Chains A and B, each alone.
Chain A
Amino acid sequence: MLIISTKNLSKEYPSKSFSKEKILALSNFTFDVQSGEIFGLLGPNGAGKTTLIKILLGITFPTNGEIKIFDKNISDESYKEKVGYLPENHKFPNYMSGEEVLYYYGKLSGMNSGDVKTKTNEYLRLVDMDKWRKTKIKKYSKGMLQRLGLAQSMMNNPELIFLDEPTDGVDPIGRKEIRDILTNLKQTGKTIFLNSHLLSEVELICDRVAILNKGVLVKSGKVEEITAVSDNYIFSTSEFAGDVLHKLLNDYKAVIKSSNEFYFNSSDTASLNNLIDYLRQNKILIHSIVREKNSLESMFINLIEGQN
């Protein structure tokens, strides 16, 4: 089931006040997000990621294009009852305590007082902020504010959660905890739309990603598809030498890494199977064959540098 779908979404801003010159923040962006997936949005600074999230949430209006969330046009604001949002650099009223923040935003989400209290207890415990619930948030660290922000985004038990840099300012242990929370949310059927600069993190938890550059969608797909390097396989075998080594080097053009590991580049499955047959005929045990992958980060850098 489609949770979000956009078609030819564009957004232009005037470059200066009263100027006719326009800046294209988003250009003909078409994509969709399926129910129950963690969708990652990547891109360098100024790529249009936050603009896209703001448009999807009705904070900013698109210049052109169609958007449907839960199969409804976003002019019908009722969809927001099923949505949670953690903005980047969010600013909660600093005179409130942690539990007051959750109460206030829970009420604004249309929750009744009983549910707000129950969920406040539940989510403050989940993000490990229970002991700071009465403390004014002006005394919170960045990491604590992010945890509280995450709790806030889950308060109304949303089906779709937008998270803009959720681990910003959070220490590595906190990041791991947030990743675990997101994975658990996914297991309960929630759809998560994640915007993060931490590509390793995106790679760990996202099912699909879209890469934006200068407002244009440059790549999208499943993480494993995007990070796969075509036709390069890593063979891990029992030790080989002599004729086998000679054949691997000369006939199969393999790149030898060690006496029991080599790279083989193959554009078709027939040559791959041919090599496997050869190894088996020569009593070489195959421990594993792994298609080589790029890290999301190196793929991202190559792609963006290539574009620029």
Chain B
Amino acid sequence: MSKFLALIFGTIREAIAKKIFIGFFVISTIIILIFLFIINVDSIEGMVNMMESSGEEGVKQLVIGFEVAMINISYLLIITFCFISVSSFIPSMLEKGNIDLLLSKPVSRMEILLGKFLGGVLLIFLSLLYLIGIVWLILSSKSGFWHVPFLYSILWLTLSFAIIYSLIMFIGLISNSTILSIIISLFLVFVICPVLYLREETIFSLVNNEAARFVINFFYYVLPKPTDINQITTDMITGNPIKSYMPVFSSVLFMLAALSASIFYFKKKDY
């Protein structure tokens, strides 16, 4: 167990050394400061007063609006930054002279990969805890509305990250390229997934062919669904009913498949 923990903390140590943590901290702090500025400007103060005069429900709606905005900002900025930051973890681990030493230690190859994976996930969790936790504290103390579901978004965003990180890991192992991992993951998260999420409004309005629709649906169900998970998070915060947890289950399955494929490949590979 101590060897496994050493791998996890080694990953976090690497993130600290590569200034990834500082990057998170700086970006998060800037977002928090901007947020503080926004909720203290006169027009917003006026809006808060107006909402307060319209009763408790008005304040809640305003707080939830801020929270949803924060989730989307976190999703876009933090997750993007995370992908770029952690993409180098696997290629740097595979560098000649480094991987030899790691594999000579009494740690299984599966433990090495899972240590890297959990280290990266823990890193993102702590960063999101800082950003969303502080924003939650500010919003709650300012409004008096302690909206706990907003905190759950830390877990949902971490899960979204973990799902894509499993893919980054697999690409990194096979290609040994940081750049390729970044390009594919960003393309997936910001192009493929949103398009597939909105496939009925976008692609299906152009494509009538049943076979083509089947293929598109197939990709939708097979690929991870961070956009859907982000929507579930938003629904959870706003109190809207959640249509289906299928995107979560299928994405978790994708993550497990990507991790299993990575472990299988890593276990067989000569270094």
Interface of A toward B, CB cutoff 8 Å: 13, 54, 57-61, 77-78, 80-81, 83, 85, 87-93, 95-96, 100, 104-105, 107-110, 112, 152, 162
Contact of B104 among A13, A83, A91, A95 (CB under 8 A): A83
In the assembled complex, the Cα of A104 lies from the Cα of B209 at a distance in Å of: 57
B219 to chain A, nearest CB (A): 27
Cβ contact within 8 Å between A105 and B105: yes
Contact of A107 among B3, B95, B97, B98 (CB under 8 A): B3
Task: Write 5 A-B pairs (CB below 8 A) sorted by A numbering.
Answer: A54-B270, A77-B108, A87-B100, A87-B101, A87-B104
Chain B residues contacting A61 (CB-CB under 8 Å) are 268, 270
Asked whether B18 is an interface residue with its Cβ less than 8 Å from the other chain, the reply is yes
Chain B residues contacting A95 (CB-CB under 8 Å) are 13-14, 17-18
Q: How many A-B residue pairs lie within 8 Å, measured between CB atoms?
A: 87
Cβ contact within 8 Å between B105 and A80: yes
Asked whether B107 is an interface residue with its Cβ less than 8 Å from the other chain, the reply is yes
Q: Scoring B residues 1 to 15 as 1 if CB is less than 8 Å from chain A, else 0, what string do you get?
A: 011011100100110
Cβ contact within 8 Å between B6 and A85: no
Given A59-B271, A104-B10: A110 and B100 within 8 A (CB)?
no
Chain B residues contacting A78 (CB-CB under 8 Å) are 106
In the assembled complex, the Cα of A90 lies from the Cα of B3 at a distance in Å of: 20
Residue of A nearest to B7 (CB): A108
Cβ contact within 8 Å between A81 and B98: no
Cβ contact within 8 Å between A91 and B102: no
Contact of A108 among B6, B14, B17, B95 (CB under 8 A): B6
Contact of A90 among B17, B100, B105, B271 (CB under 8 A): B100
A61 to chain B, nearest CB (A): 6
Number of chain B interface residues as a range: 20 to 34
Given A59-B100, A89-B97: A104 and B17 within 8 A (CB)?
no
Residue of B nearest to A56 (CB): B104
In the assembled complex, the Cα of A54 lies from the Cα of B7 at a distance in Å of: 21
Asked whether B103 is an interface residue with its Cβ less than 8 Å from the other chain, the reply is yes
Chain A residues contacting B6 (CB-CB under 8 Å) are 104, 107-108
In the assembled complex, the Cα of A96 lies from the Cα of B271 at a distance in Å of: 24
Asked whether B243 is an interface residue with its Cβ less than 8 Å from the other chain, the reply is no
Chain B residues contacting A59 (CB-CB under 8 Å) are 99-100, 103-104, 270-271
Contact of B103 among A58, A93, A110 (CB under 8 A): A58
Leading 3 A-B pairs by shortest Cβ distance: A95-B17, A91-B97, A107-B6
Chain A residues contacting B18 (CB-CB under 8 Å) are 95
Interface of B toward A, CB cutoff 8 Å: 2-3, 5-7, 10, 13-14, 17-18, 95-108, 268, 270-271
Chain B residues contacting A105 (CB-CB under 8 Å) are 101, 105
Chain A residues contacting B102 (CB-CB under 8 Å) are 108
In the assembled complex, the Cα of A61 lies from the Cα of B109 at a distance in Å of: 13
Chain A residues contacting B17 (CB-CB under 8 Å) are 93, 95-96
Chain A residues contacting B99 (CB-CB under 8 Å) are 59
Chain B residues contacting A57 (CB-CB under 8 Å) are 100, 103-104
B132 to chain A, nearest CB (A): 28
Residue of B nearest to A57 (CB): B104
Residue of B nearest to A62 (CB): B270
Chain A residues contacting B7 (CB-CB under 8 Å) are 108
Additional 17 contacts, C-beta under 8 A, given A77-B107, A89-B96, A110-B2: A54-B100, A57-B103, A81-B106, A85-B104, A87-B97, A90-B97, A90-B98, A91-B98, A93-B13, A107-B3, A108-B3, A108-B10, A108-B107, A109-B106, A112-B2, A152-B101, A162-B104
Cβ contact within 8 Å between B106 and A80: yes
Residue of A nearest to B93 (CB): A93
Cβ contact within 8 Å between A107 and B100: no
Chain A residues contacting B13 (CB-CB under 8 Å) are 93, 95-96, 100, 104
Residue of B nearest to A60 (CB): B270
Chain A residues contacting B5 (CB-CB under 8 Å) are 107
B98 to chain A, nearest CB (A): 4
Residue of A nearest to B5 (CB): A107
In the assembled complex, the Cα of A109 lies from the Cα of B107 at a distance in Å of: 8
Chain A residues contacting B106 (CB-CB under 8 Å) are 77-78, 80-81, 108-110
B260 to chain A, nearest CB (A): 20
In the assembled complex, the Cα of A104 lies from the Cα of B98 at a distance in Å of: 13
Cβ contact within 8 Å between A54 and B271: yes
B265 to chain A, nearest CB (A): 13
Chain A residues contacting B14 (CB-CB under 8 Å) are 93, 95
B172 to chain A, nearest CB (A): 17
Chain A residues contacting B271 (CB-CB under 8 Å) are 54, 59-60
In the assembled complex, the Cα of A107 lies from the Cα of B18 at a distance in Å of: 22
Q: Which of B3, B5, B102, B104 has the most CB of A within 10 A?
A: B104
